[in-house]
Amino acid sequence: MAQSYFVIGTDTNVGKTYVASRLVQHFAQLGLKAIGMKPIASGCEPGEQGELQNEDVIALSNASNVAAPKNLINPYYFAPAIAPHIAAEQAAVVISLDAIVNAYQQLTTLAEVVIVEGAGGFFVPLNQTQTLADLAVQLNIPIILVVGIRLGCINHALLTVEAIKARGLTLAGWVANEIDPNSRMFEENLTSLQQRIAAPCLSVVRWQGTALFDFASL
């Protein structure tokens, strides 16, 4: 069975793709067949051939050392950079968690490591009744939480951690990513999170800084 991780965030634009890509690269450098998966991508633009492309999907594919069909790597993709369920409704598409899980399972037959990147926060709706949290339950793989360090991040992070625990899921680790260059009390916020999250902090990334990851605990 493939070694897999589900990279989620406390919100959108907190650095999930960066962390997920680094994870794929890490396992590839260990000599393992590693691939990234982005089940749902909003904010796609036409490529040279007119097909919709997404920057996150491209970044994950560039980090991977295994080739796979696009419909497995990115089953659902939409042009508007809006919430997935709204984008799907506008496109007259219903996002199926079963279809995503099936695509993931096929990827596990091609690679030894599959890194799945979520969309938005943990409770972002995917259809009329299900959220990303429901997808996490169906995948049932360890989670890596990317915390966007800014005002309010402590509450967002701890609520997400509680939600992960409540569903019986495993939080393998978390990453502190400074996303606001004008944020105050960075060290104090970081210390507060380290004291309250019972999972290893895999990296601390300062604003536009170089990230050093400690993946030894994974």
pLDDT at 93 (0 to 100): 96
pLDDT tens by residue, 145-161: 999 999 899 999 999 99
pLDDT at 175 (0 to 100): 96
DSSP of 133-155 = HHHHHHH---EEEEEEESTTHHH
Determine the 3-state secondary structure of 214 from DSSP. Answer: coil
Would residue 100 count as lying in a domain?
yes
Would residue 197 count as lying in a domain?
yes
**Which residues on neighbouring strands pair with residue 171, listed in sequence order?**
143
Cβ atoms of 174 and 23 within 8 Å: the answer is no
- DSSP label at residue 12: S
Would residue 216 count as lying in a domain?
no
pLDDT at 50 (0 to 100): 67
Would residue 120 count as lying in a domain?
yes
Cβ atoms of 144 and 116 within 8 Å: the answer is no
Give the residue numbers marked as catalytic. 38
- Domain enclosing residue 127, as ranges: 3-205
Looking at residue 159, which CATH number applies to its domain?
Answer: 3.40.50.300
Residue type at 158 in one-letter notation: L
Would residue 212 count as lying in a domain?
no
For the chain, how far is it from start to end, CA to CA, in angstroms?
16
pLDDT at 216 (0 to 100): 76
Would residue 189 count as lying in a domain?
yes
Count of domains for the chain? 1
CA distance 22 to 90: 33
Residues of the chain below pLDDT 70: 1, 50
* pTM for this model (two decimals): 0.94
CA distance 67 to 92: 29
pLDDT at 122 (0 to 100): 97
pLDDT at 182 (0 to 100): 85
What is the torsion angle, in degrees rounded to the nearest 10, for the CA atoms of residue 34, residue 171, residue 193 and residue 181? Answer: 30
Would residue 217 count as lying in a domain?
no
Sign of the C-alpha dihedral, residues 117, 121, 122, 126?
A: negative
Would residue 215 count as lying in a domain?
no
**Which residues on neighbouring strands pair with residue 147, listed in sequence order?**
176
Closest CA to 37 of 121, 142, 108, 133: 108
Task: Extract the runs of DSSP E, i.e. beta strands, from the chain.
Answer: 3-9, 34-37, 40-42, 45-46, 52-53, 76-78, 113-117, 143-149, 171-178, 201-205
